[in-house]
């Protein structure tokens, strides 16, 4: 396990994929003393891990499938994660309006049971059953920080004011928000801080076993040059490409299947003034969320549609947009239209193929498959959720550990991510301290920086005494100094890395501003390279 990240040494672990699972495994493994190299073919979190609904949640609807293990693990994990990253994650309250005509998924074990014992319900759920589900949700995983469920009178509560008058009653429960793409980058940074090597824009094109070691060919996205890296073990965390890597890169024939399920979201201007989310139950049995987003917006999603090819970039189709618009309009007093949509995004869930009949019913649990048939070990990662990434990494290390005697034990449970070393309720204090130290910051700017960088926000701003000291102003409070931080510390290369993944400033910047930022970053890169950086 000596440092294999230099020279011709074989590294212990080579991780394919810089999504949350690859970066989470790399961080955990590096912290246990393994030498780790991770290759991501594009930008970190460029695929599924920046396209989620961004919830640390137990998954209320999975209770309908009796997925108690997954729900319990995810519920317990919410507060562990919240403590480790109180800057990019925070508690949220979810309002679930109740109406007797709501229809629930028809092919769940719960539906089948109700069909036998209460056939007259025809896909509806009695209020007591929803309350029972929420009781389980409150108690399965234990809670110390998050408040429990309560019943809400929508005729009086502010949450009812934007909903149609037919909704009188709701249940309100807790889950958490997380900035998914920043979560990935912070895991990558922490992996690097523990000695891992993180290579972005580096596609793994082949991996073969020679003399009991993997030889991995990695192609540089910019130069097209290929280099070989030797490794004792491979982790295939390629997300939607996991099956492709198994078949075409590693050439295994183990029959493991992945089911690609696309999910799309729309973003509208802010539809309501409070900070709670809505959990809407549709007439087709599906659910969607409407979530306060980036201060001035509302996020609505998601859809569930089978997706055939990981190389076909997922987009939110017009049909999906119309579906989400009409779904939400069943609840909101003021119906939505296409004109309200300011942005859409779409991602592909790499689910383990468990033979489920519908995309909605396919398991969201993770599956780790170890394969040694080629003469050297490879661990293939299927499924999972943002919420369970840390536990998935621990389970992966349980399978990896036996190949490396002397590997350290679990450590990530109580360890803060970069910038997250402050109390869960400490954000407002941090914002006040930042504004006192940098009086030129307005409230929006200071909050944005603290939510992104936590205790590192002051390090980003450095010795600036005025906004002018931060260098070029790219718009929407993005300055040269912050962009340099993102390029130097957070692997950002292109403008889209900065405005759609390290931040969501793309919602506030014009196409011209983004193009100007990209030009500036390319110049800074070539100047840096010319200077031998």
Ligand X SMILES: Cc1cc2nc3c(=O)[nH]c(=O)nc-3n(C[C@H](O)[C@H](O)[C@H](O)COP(=O)(O)OP(=O)(O)OC[C@H]3O[C@@H](n4cnc5c(N)ncnc54)[C@H](O)[C@@H]3O)c2cc1C
User: Would you tell me which residues interact with ligand X (CB under 6 A)?
Assistant: 16-22, 39-42, 46-49, 51-55, 57, 203-204, 237-241, 245, 249, 263, 302, 347-350, 384-387
Pairing of strands 169-178, 89-98: antiparallel
Rounded-to-integer distance, Cα 177 and Cα 494, Å:
26
Contacts of 398 by beta carbon, 8 Å cutoff, 6+ apart? none
Looking at the Cβ atoms of 324 and 509, the one nearer to ligand X is: 324
Query: How far is CA 321 from each of CA 4, 266, 302, rounded to the nearest angstrom?
Result: 48, 7, 10
User: How far apart (Å, rounded) are the C-alpha atoms in residues 407 and 295?
Assistant: 44
55 vs 84, which CB is nearer to ligand X? 55
Q: What are the backbone dihedrals phi and psi of residue 484, each rounded to the nearest 5 degrees, phi first?
A: -65, -40
Nearer to ligand X by Cβ, of 73 and 172: the residue is: 73
CB of 532 to ligand X, least distance (A): 27
CA gyration radius, the chain: 23
SS3 84: helix
CB of 55 to ligand X, least distance (A): 4
- Rank residues 221 and 516 by Cβ distance to ligand X and give the closer one: 221
- In the complex with ligand X, the residue whose CB is nearer, 368 or 457, is 368
Strands (E), 273-407: 277-281, 287-293, 297-301, 305-306, 341-352, 367-371, 378-382
DSSP state of 333: S
Q: What's the CA gap between 306 and 263, in Å, rounded?
A: 9
Could you give the residue ranges of the DSSP H alpha helices within 347-411? 389-400
CB of 324 to ligand X, least distance (A): 12
d(Cα 230, Cα 227) in Å, to the nearest integer? 10
Query: Least Å distance between CB 303 and ligand X?
Result: 8
Nearest-CB residue for ligand X = 19
Minimum separation from the CB atom of position 141 to ligand X (A): 14
CB of 422 to ligand X, least distance (A): 23
From the CB of 508, what's the least distance to ligand X, in Å?
Answer: 23
Buried b (16+ CB within 10 A) or exposed e, 270-281: ebbeeebbbbbb
CA distance 513 to 519: 10
Q: Taking the complex as a whole, how short is the minimal distance between the CB of residue 161 and ligand X, in angstroms?
A: 26
The terminus-to-terminus CA distance of the chain in angstroms comes to 29
Q: How far is the CB of 51 from ligand X (least distance, A)?
A: 5
Nearer of residues 234 and 460 to ligand X, judged by Cβ:
234
Cβ proximity to ligand X, 199 vs 441, nearer residue: 199
Buried b (16+ CB within 10 A) or exposed e, 25-47: bbbbbbbbbbbbbbbbbbbbbbb
Residue carrying structure tokens 């090819």: 309
Residue 39 C-beta: closest distance to ligand X, Å: 5
User: Which is closer to ligand X, CB of 346 or CB of 479?
Assistant: 346
Rounded CA-CA distance 179/478 in Å is 18
- Choice between 435 and 494, CB closer to ligand X: 494
For ligand X, the closer of residues 160 and 292 by Cβ is 292
């Amino acid at each position: 396990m000596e440092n294999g990240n230099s020279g011709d040494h074989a590294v212990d672990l080579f991780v394919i994929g810089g999504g949350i699972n690859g970066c989470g495994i790399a961080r955990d493994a590096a912290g246990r003393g393994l030498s780790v190299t991770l290759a991501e073919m594009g930008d970190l979190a460029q695929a599924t891990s920046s396209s989620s609904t961004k919830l640390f949640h137990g998954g209320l609807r999975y209770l309908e499938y009796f997925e108690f293990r997954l729900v319990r693990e995810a519920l317990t994990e919410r507060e562990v994660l919240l403590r480790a990253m109180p800057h990019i994650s925070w508690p949220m309250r979810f309002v679930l309006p109740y109406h007797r005509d709501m229809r629930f998924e028809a092919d769940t074990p719960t539906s089948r049971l109700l069909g036998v014992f209460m056939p007259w319900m025809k896909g509806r759920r009695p209020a007591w059953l929803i309350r029972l589900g929420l009781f389980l949700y409150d108690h399965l995983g234990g809670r110390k920080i998050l408040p429990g469920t309560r019943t809400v009178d929508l005729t009086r509560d502010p949450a009812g004011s934007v909903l149609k008058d037919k909704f009188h009653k709701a249940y309100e429960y807790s889950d958490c928000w997380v900035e998914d793409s920043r979560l990935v980058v912070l895991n990558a940074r922490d992996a690097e801080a523990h000695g891992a090597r993180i290579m972005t824009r580096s596609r793994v094109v082949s991996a073969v076993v020679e003399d009991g070691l993997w030889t991995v060919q990695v192609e540089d996205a910019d130069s097209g040059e290929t280099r070989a890296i030797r490794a004792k073990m491979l982790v295939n965390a390629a997300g939607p490409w996991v099956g492709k890597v198994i078949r075409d890169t590693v050439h295994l024939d183990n029959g493991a299947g992945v089911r690609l399920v696309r999910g799309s979201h729309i973003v509208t201007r802010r539809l309501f003034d409070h900070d709670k989310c809505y959990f809407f139950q549709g007439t087709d049995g599906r659910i969607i969320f409407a979530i306060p987003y980036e201060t001035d917006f509302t996020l609505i999603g998601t859809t569930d549609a089978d997706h055939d090819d990981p190389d076909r970039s997922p987009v939110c189709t017009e049909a999906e947009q119309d579906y989400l618009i009409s779904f939400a309009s069943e609840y909101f007093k003021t119906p939505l239209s296409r004109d309200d949509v300011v942005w859409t995004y779409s991602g592909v869930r790499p689910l383990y193929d468990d033979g489920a009949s519908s995309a909605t019913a396919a398991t969201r649990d993770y599956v780790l498959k170890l394969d040694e048939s080629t003469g050297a070990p490879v661990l293939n990662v299927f499924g999972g959720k943002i919420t369970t990434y840390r536990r998935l990494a621990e389970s992966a290390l349980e399978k990896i550990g036996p190949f490396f005697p002397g590997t350290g034990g679990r450590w990530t449970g109580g360890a803060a991510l970069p910038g997250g070393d402050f109390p869960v309720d400490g954000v407002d204090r941090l914002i006040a301290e930042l504004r006192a130290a940098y009086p030129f910051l307005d409230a929006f700017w200071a909050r944005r920086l603290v939510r992104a960088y936590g205790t590192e926000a002051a390090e980003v701003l450095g010795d600036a005494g005025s906004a002018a000291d931060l260098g070029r102003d790219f718009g929407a409070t993005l300055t040269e100094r912050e962009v340099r931080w993102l390029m130097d510390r957070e692997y950002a290369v292109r403008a889209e890395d900065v405005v759609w993944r390290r931040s969501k400033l793309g919602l506030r910047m014009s196409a011209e501003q983004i193009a100007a930022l990209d030009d500036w970053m390319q110049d800074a890169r070539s100047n840096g390279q010319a200077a031998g950086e």
